[in-house]
Amino acid sequence: MPEPIEVRKVPIESVTDASGLSRLIDDGVIEAQRVLAVIGKTEGNGGVNDYTRILADRAFREVLAGGGHPAPESVPLVWSGGTDGVLSPHATIFATTANAPATDEPRLSVGVAMSDVILPEDIGRPAMVEKVAAGVREAMKIAGIDDPRDVHYVQTKTPLLTLATISDAKSRGQSTAIEETGPSMDLSNSTSALGIAVALGEIEMPREDQIHKDLSLYSSVASCSSGVELDRAQIVLVGNVRGIGGRYRIGHSVMKDALDADGIWAAIRDSGIPLPERPHPSDLKGRLVNVFMKCEADPSGRVRGRRNIMLDDSDVHWHRQIKAAVGGAARLLVPVVALLTETEVGAHGLRQEKESEMALPKLVGKDGRQAVLAFTGTESLARWRPDARPIQATTLQVCRAAVQEQAAAVVVDVAGPVQFVIEGDVLAALAAVESGTVNELNGVTVAKVAPAPARPRRRWFSRKSR
């Protein structure tokens, strides 16, 4: 039986900042020698020449070495470059623990493995699918998972093509599937995803002409990234095992499109967190560690029937645009502040906090009308009040909360840099969309988009190196 897992998320304040991991070790939350894997987001461009991944990798391995890890170079550190929009650089650390409550309920388990060497001529071909699939099966064994249905997340990092590796293949009389280095990131990621799908029984072994072309072939739990820093697949497999003990569970779901907030909530429910029919971030009550999301621009150039130009934009690559769009759709920050409700006299004779409550602050105008505050990021939140705690929410959820609080408006970024107000019929309409009461509106026209024709589900994963 594998050991129970402790998992923590830490911010990355600069390219080489590993102080979050260092604090966890110094405070005794985790032991350096027990760290199994780190999955993180860095602030680079996510491309072939994104060296922020290498810098972050070096910083975290130095902390592990300093903390006494016997082989820090063996720990999978999977870095995804690009924190466009409101995404924030961070790292999620998985480690075994000896201090976990016993339970017969399913709890988090992690298996890490490395595939055989992936040659340049393997990328985009069945040979790579087979090597990744073999590595995933090995990771399942290490995690103690027998049933593929108990696997909820598989993160891979695989090699891509460079001019040097393409030349190496040619020198050995071999050819590569393509000779463009940039697109090879997409090709490596999609091939890796099919390897995961094969290992978990989601699809049969694909033909070479289906790889990177047949979009009906996908994995619902794969998260694939590629880069120049390795020559085989790094695999981090996360699932649930009954009887392992611990405090954490994991779930998953598939987003139907880039705006599918319900898909995110479905994944959270699948992890075992009970939620109401129309959930709000406050329903999470601090029980969520992280959400891993992968996305790509729809090849049709449309989202819910509306045309976008991400795939036609020559100035900003669609990889960056879709990340910013999905990140923005998934979060809008609502401030919560602590209100002191009861005090007591401590051992040293000083009065101290005994109980406090979290409250949603409102802005009151000269005319007595109230407004709920919302912020587009932590910087604009801190401009208003540094001690406010951010809670993530979608725009629709904020508007619904405002109506429930009988507020007249939602004021976005009240302290700047650009203030925006949602009020009147627009506020009522957005709240009604969230609560499912659009038909009860009077004097307001809300356009509804007809459901799209049914089509085979596909997994939304980014084909770009992270």
Q: Which residues are catalytic?
A: 157, 225
Which amino acid, one-letter code, is at 284? L
Residue 148 CB-density burial (10 A; 0-12 exposed, 13-18 middle, 19+ buried): middle
Which amino acid, one-letter code, is at 172? R
Q: Are 123 and 191 in contact (CB under 8 A)?
A: yes
CB atoms within 10 A of CB 11: 12
Q: How far apart are CA 353 and CA 363, in angstroms?
A: 26
Q: Are 198 and 205 in contact (CB under 8 A)?
A: yes
Enumerate the β-bridge partners of residue 38. Answer: 77, 93
Burial per residue of 409-441, b for 16 or more beta-carbon CB atoms within 10 angstroms, e otherwise? bbbbbbeeeeeeebbeeebbbbbbbbbeebeee
Q: How far apart are CA 392 and CA 290, in angstroms?
A: 12
CB atoms within 10 A of CB 104: 9
Q: How far apart are CA 72 and CA 95, in angstroms?
A: 13
